[in-house]
Chain A
Amino acid sequence: MKAILSVIGQDKIGIIAQVSNLLAKKEINILDVSQTIMEKEFVMMMSLEIPQNADFQSLTESFNKLGKELEVEINLRNSKIYEAMHTLD
């Protein structure tokens, strides 16, 4: 399943490193990364391929935990929610 990981918050050293590290640990492949500053906030989007048998609940919990440590908001969502909202097919 394709998913989008978004990281939003105050910029600081090590956000990309730690998020990527956790993804590698969970054996999740990164398909695309973009990072920018929007409305004065650090904004990173990662497009990911989540293995079919992955436990979404525990993945979400891991990223919530990391988000708390880094003091940023991390959300992992099925990419369909973004497509539904912004594209007509």
Chain B
Amino acid sequence: MDSQQIFETSHMISSENLDIRTITMGISLLDCIDSDSDRACQKIYDKITNKAKDLVKVGKEIETEYGIPIANKRITVTPISLIAAASGDHDYVKYAKALDRAAKTLGVDFIGGFSALVQKGFQTGDEVLINSLPQALAETNYVCASVNVGSTRSGINMDAVKKMGQIVVDSANLDYMTNTKLVVFCNAVEDNPFMAGGFHGVSEPDVVINVGVSGPGVVKTALEKVAGESMDVVAETIKKTAFKVTRMGQLVGSVAAEKLGVPFGIVDLSLAPTAAAGDSVAEVLEEIGVSQVGAHGTTAALAMLNDAVKKGGLMACNHVGGLSGAFIPVSEDAGMIKAVESGALNISKLEAMTAVCSVGLDMIAIPGDTSPATISGMIADEAAIGMINNKTTAVRVIPVPGKKIGETVEFGGLLGHAPIMAVSNETSDKLINRGGLIPAPVHSFKN
């Protein structure tokens, strides 16, 4: 082994914040369905705590033996709307609490899957689940929820879009932190290990291990060495760096899967920031050449970054999946926070950026008096970008009651803090109140 390479790896871990963002165990709950909801919840608790009993322990063992930090250990489950529908209950808070208890027992960081997929229409379980969201999220600590309201194949369910605007506001009124645990998706993926949008899709194996890698700090450091060189060199540098980072994810995932006796699913090739300095996607974009994120050219830089990360990572692992790309959450990224505070970055620019990167309007704090229809409008716009461009998009906005534009809200931990951002003062009510289904775009007919 070349000592230069060992030095490089050590440096990436110690000084450039390279980590494995998450080891996520996906667990199917289809065999826990029961018409008696108490019995179903017991089965759910038992299955999760049995299958994942060693997850945290194995994660810690890997951290020690390989000396690579694993930021989170998480669980995803089958969308609860599918599991709970058999019970005929009028709300699913009980199910959320069962998931929460299991997460607490196991010591995992999050459990995702309090979810519903309603891109084409509501089934009974979906409606009950969505109505339960505010209370379920307010009364649990670890449960993450998502609702898929659109897809390229089926169009956008505008009734669901309308509903979710109201749910976000209702949740905020109970506790604004609830919305940090709720994502509204278009084209949600079934093997995503990242929260809050992770769930275990019905086409997945019974139990599976998925891994999410990170490493914006590593990419930034690599780019510092090619300052002033052409974009070709920049793209090539990002590809090579992404390859190395992803190899680490592949190794950690396969070791974890082997130790847990579970198949290894996918590596999510991502650049996920944290609020710590030197671990920021925004700083990578600034290294590529914009003085601050939000400047003209930011979208182009992000598009190139996202593509190069995928190209570099694809060869590094057996199976790639999840969301794979660069994340641009505001509150979790020191550079993004700075850009919003200085006025360089606003929601319109962020929306444009979501057209070329992973996910969407993520961890954005907005004024507490934002109307439900305005939030639905934001959801509709993002869903449309996802639907037309055949990609995943999402909205995770956080109205903070009593806060106005320019004030700051603290979320704590990995979630960071966020300045309250301005939303449009014009209304979207008429559009949102139409309801119905936006038809699938013509390019869904690819057979």
Looking at the complex, which one of A4, A8, A79, A81 makes contact with B248 (CB distance below 8 Å)? A81
A-B contact count (CB 8 A): 70
Q: Say whether B14 contacts A75, CB under 8 Å.
A: yes
Interface string of A56-78 (1 = CB under 8 A from B): 11001000000000000101111
A17 at interface (Cβ–Cβ under 8 A)?
no
Q: Say whether A86 contacts B251, CB under 8 Å.
A: no
In the bound complex, CA of A89 to CA of B11 (Å): 24
- Known A-B contacts A45-B1, A81-B251, A84-B247; the reply to A75 vs B67 at CB < 8 A is yes
From B2-10, B124-132, B303-311, B366-374, the one touching the partner chain is B2-10
Binding site for A on B (CB under 8 A): 1-7, 9-11, 13-14, 61, 64-68, 244, 247-248, 250-251, 255
Q: Which residue of A lies closest to B10 (CB)?
A: A6
Say how far A28's CB is from chain B's closest CB, in angstroms: 15
Q: Say whether B7 contacts A38, CB under 8 Å.
A: yes
Using C-beta atoms within 8 Å of the partner chain, give the interface range for chain A: 20 to 34
Binding site for B on A (CB under 8 A): 4, 6, 8, 34, 36, 38, 43, 45, 47, 56-57, 60, 73, 75-86
Looking at the complex, which one of A43, A57, A73, A81 makes contact with B9 (CB distance below 8 Å)? A81
Q: Chain A contacts of B6 at CB under 8 A?
A: 4, 6, 45, 82
Q: Chain B contacts of A60 at CB under 8 A?
A: 64, 67
Q: Chain A contacts of B68 at CB under 8 A?
A: 77, 81
Q: Chain B contacts of A81 at CB under 8 A?
A: 9, 66-68, 248, 251
Say how far B248's CB is from chain A's closest CB, in angstroms: 6
Looking at the complex, which one of B3, B14, B66, B67 makes contact with A45 (CB distance below 8 Å)? B3
Main secondary structure of the interface of B (DSSP, over half): helix
Apart from A8-B10, A8-B11: 18 A-B pairs, beta carbons within 8 A = A6-B6, A6-B10, A8-B7, A56-B61, A56-B64, A73-B14, A75-B67, A76-B67, A77-B65, A79-B1, A80-B255, A81-B9, A81-B68, A82-B1, A82-B6, A84-B248, A85-B244, A85-B247
Q: Say whether A84 contacts B3, CB under 8 Å.
A: no
Query: Which residue, of A38, A45, A76, has the highest number of chain B Cβ atoms within 10 A?
Result: A45
Q: Say whether B66 contacts A86, CB under 8 Å.
A: no
Q: Chain B contacts of A4 at CB under 8 A?
A: 1, 6
In the bound complex, CA of A16 to CA of B261 (Å): 40
Can you report 25 A-B residue pairs in the complex whose CB atoms are below 8 A from each other? A4-B6, A6-B7, A8-B11, A8-B14, A34-B3, A38-B7, A43-B3, A45-B1, A45-B3, A45-B6, A45-B7, A56-B64, A75-B13, A75-B67, A77-B67, A78-B66, A80-B66, A80-B251, A81-B9, A81-B66, A81-B67, A82-B5, A86-B1, A86-B5, A86-B244
Q: Which residue of A lies closest to B67 (CB)?
A: A77
Q: Chain A contacts of B4 at CB under 8 A?
A: 38
Say how far A55's CB is from chain B's closest CB, in angstroms: 10
Which 6 residue pairs spanning A and B have beta carbons closest together? A77-B67, A84-B251, A86-B5, A45-B3, A81-B66, A84-B247
Say how far A6's CB is from chain B's closest CB, in angstroms: 5
